[in-house]
Amino acid sequence: MTIPDTSTLEAALGHRFQHAGLLEQALTHSSHAHEATDASAPGESTGEKMTFATGDNEIMEFLGDAVLGFVTSEALFTRFPGKHEGELSKMRAHLVSARHLVRVAKQINLGDYLRLGRGEEKSGGRNKSALLVDALEAVIAALYLDGGLELARQFIFKEIVNPELGKMQQAGENLPLTDYKSALQESVQSMGQPQPVYVIAKETGPDHKKIFTAEVRLHLRGSDENPHLVARAEGHSKKSAEQRAARQALEHLEKQRSAAGESE
């Protein structure tokens, strides 16, 4: 497949790159960099702007993730001064989640521009969520390095933050986070832990008005191999009970992280 000219992508990003190598590196997966042994590795610098010697987008993904997290936190802090830390953390977790970012990546057709190795190309890498999210974060880093924080901020607001907050406002939701099970899954993945285990522990009431009790169990750090009960909640359906239990588990993890931060 021929990679389209990046001028269309630059139009979607709202920026014409002064240093084209930055965007090229942001779009380069490690599989392509490893195969392209005859390609010259970027490494020149101009003032404070530079590309890195790795040739792929992994280190740019690292920077882009930090820029995205900062700008999103700043936006929420400014727009919702009345909300407490827990609410803002949930909102940020949703806005920077892989589920949300992959939609943004697809909206700007980012997959069409990825530079992939032959193996990734054959296995459908252009549509893989992980590759799309990594590339989007790397592109954010490229915008930051080429045009500064304000340029990156404009893109993040326009494509990632504002549309999603607008949708939630229109729907009358207090928080742009209703799928607590997905949020919990992403949270434990980021901690390198196994997936949560859900169990319907009890069913009470008549068939037309049953109440379900759901438990969610997690592999906590420093514990044995068996998952431990973290939260239990009731609901009029199995799904609602599990969502409520997942919400409690998220709050439990946040408290753990806060306590760990205070003890450092």
DSSP character string of 174-211: SSS---HHHHHHHHHHHTT-PPPEEEEEEEES-GGG-E
- Is 112 tagged catalytic? no
Three-class SS state of 212: strand
Residue 238 contacts residue 214 (beta carbons within 8 Å): yes
Q: Which of 24, 61, 65, 215 is catalytic?
A: 65
Cβ atoms of residues 110 and 139 within 8 Å: yes
Residue 61 CB-half CA count within 13 A = 17
Of 31, 210, 173, the closest CA to residue 90 belongs to 173
State residue 119's pLDDT score: 80
Mean pLDDT, residues 24-36 taken together:
79
Residue 121: phi and psi, rounded to 5, are: -60, -45
CB proximity list for 231: less than 8 A, separation 6 or greater = 215, 216, 245, 246, 247, 248, 249, 252
Q: How far apart (Å, rounded) are the C-alpha atoms in residues 67 and 55?
A: 20
Q: Which is higher by pLDDT, 1 or 112?
A: 112
Mean pLDDT over 113-130 rounds to 86
Cβ burial of 81 (10 Å; 0-12, 13-18, 19+) is exposed
Q: What is the mean pLDDT of residues 41-46?
A: 44
Of 137, 159, 215, 242, the active-site residue reads 137
Residues 7-170: name the CATH superfamily: Ribonuclease III domain (1.10.1520.10)
User: Residue 136, class by beta-carbon neighbours within 10 Å (0-12 exposed, 13-18 middle, 19+ buried)?
Assistant: buried
Q: Which residues in 98-129 are b (16+ Cβ under 10 Å) and which e?
A: bebbbebbeebebbebbbbbeebbeeebbebe
Q: What are phi and psi of 111, to 5 degrees?
A: -60, -30
164 is catalytic: no
Helix axes 162-170, 85-95, angle to 10 degrees: 110
Torsion sign over Cα 253, 256, 262, 264: negative
Residue with tokens 């389209």: 4
Query: Is 145 a residue whose pLDDT tops 90?
Result: yes
Contact of 137 with 145, CB cutoff 8 Å: no
Q: Is the fold of 7-170 the same as that of 180-263? A: no
CB 114 within 8 A of CB 29: yes
**161: its two tokens:** 């933050």
Q: Tens digit of pLDDT for each residue in 230-250? A: 899 998 888 888 988 998 888
> CATH number of 180-263: 3.30.450.20, 3.40.190.80, 3.30.460.10, 3.30.160.20?
3.30.160.20
Report which of residues 33 and 247 the model is more confident about. Answer: 247
Kindly list the domain boundaries of the chain, sorted by start residue.
Answer: 7-170, 180-263
| Cα gap 61→221, rounded to integer Å | 26
**166-171 average pLDDT score:** 69
Residues 6+ apart with CB under 8 A from 225: 219
- pTM of the predicted model, to two decimals? 0.62
pLDDT band at residue 38 using 50, 70 and 90 as cut-offs: very low
